[in-house]
Structure 1
Amino acid sequence: MLAKDTEMLIVDWGMGDTTARDRAIARLYPELQQIASARLRREVGSSMSTHDLVNDAVEKILRIENPEIGGRSHFVALASRVMRNVLVDHARAKSTDKRHHHKVELNTRIQGEGPFDLARLNSALVRLEAIDAELMEIVEMRYFGGMTVPEVAEVTGWSEPTVKRRWQVARAWLADAMSHPLAHG
């Protein structure tokens, strides 16, 4: 019943109910903490806490006017994208700090994946988005949101076999892009 109540809160949020928005975020906060914790686990030299990442992400989500959130999975996908942006911004800020020259890594909960250099991964994702935005979104949901194939299927409206195939394509493309980064300069 709690899941159904959360879904209704999210629908009400989408219709402008700020009380429903606050209650939905409160209900989903433990899940956001799990996602953030997974993102931050074993990062090299990270000064960002799970609490900081979740709060920064929620703050950015609250600034979105009329977010189109179709349910819990859509919210998790949105939170995943926002957490990615927060982590990338944090990594960029660290890289400009002359006293620290640590690369920031992303450790996924996906077996056989990661850790990845976050700056290199973000660069590859920007390139992938230019080629196929839907593939980039799958990577974002899987890596940054820790979403399962069925959850990605729910958000995208695709069948699970389609998500699996597209996920394989995205992983293969990313592996190549990560091993052949673009030269800057």
Structure 2
Amino acid sequence: MQSDPAITRLIQDWQRGDESAERTLFDLLYKRLHQLALSCLRSERAGNSLGPTALVHEAYLRFNAGAELQIVNRNHFLALAARVMRRIVVDHARARRTAKRGGDEVQVEMQENLISRQQDADTILAVDRALEQLSASAPRQAQIVELRYFAGYSIEEAAAVLGISSRTARREWQVARVRLKGAIDGTPAAT
């Protein structure tokens, strides 16, 4: 893969409207975008109509629709891609839940990777609601959760994207997990 400065240059050219830079950028980052999609979908049921390739393509379309984005570098681009993919997965879960019969709140079991792999649309929506609450009170913690859970970043990678130390990222990750569990379970968590 090309170096980060080369990727940054391609991003800048793409934002200026260079279509060849856009194609080159997505070609170079397609494998990483596909990995992000797999990470976002790791909790979806087998046979789900939303696969990783479809998720990458839908994210690409949404990126093109948001042409006014100010993307700084490769890490920022991938973090935004993870956020876009998360929104797509949540929208897909909402549509699936609506098509089903609906339902009320659901109990969600928290594990090391935040939620178990057998989650369904209700669980995705419960996590999304909890993450929105966390984002309102602790935006950086919510960003760390998005990068760790939806993008599959390590603590060190998330820290680098956010420009903070690994130690700070680890501490905020631990606090975020407790707060999310409290929000999902409906119990207030200590901050």
The answer, yes or no, to whether TM exceeds 0.5 is yes
Within the candidate set 52, 55, 58, 1:56 is matched to 58
Shift of 1:38: 2.5
Verify: 1:173 aligned to 2:167, yes or no.
no
Please list every run of at least 4 consecutive aligned residues from structure 1 whose deviation after the TM superposition is greater than 4 angstroms: none
- The 5 A counterparts of 1:143-158 are 143-158=149-164
Distance in 2 between the 1:177 and 1:94 partners? 23
Secondary structure, in 3 states, of the residue corresponding to 2:3? helix
Q: Percent identity?
A: 37
Alpha-carbon contact 1:120-1:181 (below 8 Å) kept: no
Distance in 1 between the 2:85 and 2:113 partners? 22
1:25 maps to amino acid: F
Comparing 72-81 with 62-71, greater Cα deviation is found at 62-71
Secondary structure, in 3 states, of the residue corresponding to 1:134? helix
Shift of 1:129: 1.4
Verify: 1:9 aligned to 2:15, yes or no.
no
Give the root-mean-square deviation of aligned CA atoms: 2.5
Q: What's the TM-score, normalizing by structure 2? A: 0.80
Shift of 1:152: 1.7
Partner residue in 2 for 1:44: 45
Q: Give the unaligned 5+ runs of structure 2.
A: 104-110
1:136 maps to amino acid: A
Verify: 1:96 aligned to 2:98, yes or no.
yes
For the structure 1 residues 153 and 18, does the alpha-carbon distance in structure 2 shift closer, same or farther, using more than 3 Å as the test?
Answer: farther
Partner residue in 1 for 2:170: 164
Shift of 1:177: 1.2
Alpha-carbon contact 1:124-1:181 (below 8 Å) kept: no
Distance in 2 between the 1:111 and 1:181 partners? 19
Distance in 1 between the 2:59 and 2:2 partners? 23
Q: Give the unaligned 5+ runs of structure 1.
A: 102-109
Shift of 1:140: 1.0
Shift of 1:53: 0.8
Within the candidate set 121, 129, 147, 1:123 is matched to 129
Distance in 2 between the 1:181 and 1:43 partners? 26
Distance in 2 between the 1:97 and 1:175 partners? 27
Distance in 2 between the 1:89 and 1:112 partners? 21
Shift of 1:29: 0.8
